[in-house]
Amino acid sequence: MSKHYKIAVLPGDGIGPEVMAEAIKVLQVVADKFQFQLTLTEALVGGAALDATGVPLPPDTLALCKASDAILFGSVGGPKWTGLAPDMQPERGSLLPLRKTFDLFCNMRPGQIYPAFADLSPLHPRVSSKGMDVLCIRELTGGIYFGEKGRSGDTAFDTQRYSVAEVTRIAEVAFQAAQKRGKKVTSIDKANVLQTSILWRETVEQVAKNYPDVTLEHMYIDNAAMQLIRSPQQFDVMLCDNLFGDILSDEIAAIAGSLGLLPSASLNGSGFGLYEPAGGSAPDIAGQGIANPIAQILSAALMLRYSFGEEAAAQAIERAVQQCLEQHIVTRDIDPKSTYGTAAVGAAIVATLQQET
Ligand code: NAI
Ligand code: MG
């Protein structure tokens, strides 16, 4: 075995450790099957790290991340730590510094309506039965969240800035992703009113010239929000700035149904990434063994795809997940009557992977 990947495993709080345990089992099976070697090293993060060391992102954890090829992240936070100062809060105090340290400018969130579970979607069956398979790509380190801001008296302001370089690098990711999927990019903007959107649109057009096999369309954010509800199956890759992507990625999550199914990836330009479920630490169900491990398992699949280029292994995991869903081996967030817990769903996915030839 020549290929060897080092992964920093940060389970965090609440359901984080429970769902991470299942993702690790799945990773070990595909490593054997697809002939690569994994070194998985666990470290403390979030509330668990605060309790043990006094800070949400201890130096040892950051050092491990720097020495690794990717970060597999669980979830952080919970009611125990909500009263703390912003920089000490588990979420802000760990995810923001990690994004900054590793320049994770690209956030990817796939959202699907699985045909077998179209009724999970709050959309009308007339719409949801046609399915959805969207990849939302959000710029994560620029835009209005990071611009100059201020307040004086009864006036406040925020500024949005984007450079050609910033737009180019996120657009490149979107076109490359579309090449491997449905070959379509819908770039979201508000070019009828915003200067940054005009630059965004021009820059995306330039990048598109290098990807003649991908269709580019532009859509205003307000229309996109509406079209997602009316006919989500029209979208393949949606390319968004930080603000619009924040909103649309949550809309896509809501359309898809359970948070327990949705993975995410945050990447930089050199293949390094942080992979985590779209949901949080779910304190309401933590410790009961009933959390859905699928979002964490699919996050591991995204890691294999985007950081390591192990496309076959990623697809095998995604197929196994799909098969378990079709066989109705699901946790209670998907079907309240189900008796499968976290470990049972993980075990079913592992067994499916082992049976596959
Ligand atoms: P949440 O995503 O933890 O929970 C929302 C609802 O979805 C809950 O009813 C929960 O049980 C359910 N849910 C989420 N993931 C699930 C899974 N895998 N299986 C089954 N059900 C699942 O969001 P909430 O309640 O707003 O936040 C709880 C804590 O998580 C807070 O401390 C928050 O700050 C933190 N959080 C952390 C994030 C992260 O680590 N990136 C992201 C979002 C929230
Ligand atoms: Mg959000």
150 belongs to an annotated ligand binding site: no
Range of the domain at 170: 122-254
Does 195 share its domain with 234? yes
Q: Is 351 helix (H, G, I), strand (E, B) or coil?
A: helix
**Predicted pLDDT at 356:** 83
Convert the pLDDT of each residue in 5-47 to its tens digit: 999 999 999 999 999 999 999 999 999 999 999 999 999 999 9
Q: Which value, to the nearest 10 degrees, does the dihedral of the CA atoms of residues 190, 192, 197, 203 take? A: 120
Does 290 share its domain with 191? no
277 belongs to an annotated ligand binding site: no
Atom 38 of ligand 1: nearest residue by CA position = 280
Does ligand 1 have an atom closer than 6 angstroms to the CB of 47? no
Does the annotation count 222 as an active-site position?
yes
Does the annotation count 133 as an active-site position?
no
Residue 161 lies in a domain: yes
Does 26 share its domain with 98? yes
Q: Is 241 helix (H, G, I), strand (E, B) or coil?
A: coil
Catalytic site residue from 133, 158, 250, 335? 250
289 belongs to an annotated ligand binding site: yes
pTM reported for the whole predicted model:
0.93
Does ligand 1 have an atom closer than 6 angstroms to the CB of 139? no
% of the chain exceeding 70 in pLDDT? 99
Convert the pLDDT of each residue in 255-311 to its tens digit: 998 889 999 999 998 999 999 999 999 999 999 999 999 999 999 999 999 999 999
Domain end among 254, 269, 297: 254
Task: Report the residue count for the chain.
Answer: 357
Does ligand 1 have an atom closer than 6 angstroms to the CB of 241? no
| CA of 279, nearest ligand number | 1
Domain end among 228, 254, 280: 254
Does 99 share its domain with 178? no
**Total of domains in the chain:** 2
Q: Which residues lie below 8 Å from residue 355, measured CB to CB, with a gap of 6+?
A: none
Does 81 share its domain with 128? no
Kindly report the three-state secondary structure assignment for every residue of 123-171.
CCHHHHCCCEEEEEEEECCCHHHCCCEEEECCEEEECCCCCHHHHHHHH
Residue 116 lies in a domain: no
Convert the pLDDT of each residue in 311-348 to its tens digit: 999 999 999 999 999 999 999 999 999 999 999 999 99
Q: ipTM > 0.85?
A: yes
Atom 25 of ligand 1: nearest residue by CA position = 282
Does 77 share its domain with 26? yes
Domain end among 231, 254, 277: 254
Q: What is the DSSP string of 95-114?
A: HHHHHHHTT--EEEEEEEE-
Does 82 share its domain with 96? yes
Does the annotation count 306 as an active-site position?
no
According to DSSP, the residues that pair with 12 across neighbouring strands are 75
Residue type, 262: L
Which atom number of ligand 1 is nearest to the Cα of residue 46?
40
CATH number at residue 36: 3.40.718.10
Does 215 share its domain with 261? no
Q: Which residues lie below 8 Å from residue 335, measured CB to CB, with a gap of 6+?
A: 328
